[in-house]
Amino acid sequence: MRNSGLQNGLATLLVRHTSASLLIQENADPEVRQDLERFFERLIPEGDPLFRHILEGADDMPAHVRSALTSVNLSIPIVESALGLGTWQGIYLWEHRHHSHRRQVLVHLIGE
């Protein structure tokens, strides 16, 4: 943010995909991510006969549901040239597919 020249404003982020999410989450303990993964695996299991959309594999539809339950965009205040995140908060791109994919995140800054 410091290179943007903005003192105060808003940063808006958007991931341009339907099988990944953006999160603001704990940034110190990696077990938080692992616990979230296990929770979503239990909540939205692969191979559930409910899902018919499996065109790209068993993780296809569960990935869409996971992104629908989380978020593909974030809005974060810019305060004194820095993102207004808490001490233990970080921004994460959460991939919901097993294989890596190339993802695009758009960032829009507005302010003074």
**Total-model pTM:** 0.88
pLDDT band for position 4 (cuts 50, 70, 90):
confident
The tokens of 17 are what? 């995909």
**What CA–CA distances, in Å, run from 12 to 17, 37, 73, 90, 106?**
16, 25, 7, 15, 8
C-alpha 103, offset from chain centre: 11
Q: Which of 71, 75, 100, 97 is nearest to 85 (CA)?
A: 75
Nearest to 6 by CA among 85, 84, 78, 77: 78
Average pLDDT, the chain: 94
Q: Give the pLDDT confidence of 38-76 residue by residue, as tens digits.
A: 999 999 999 999 999 988 899 999 999 999 999 999 999
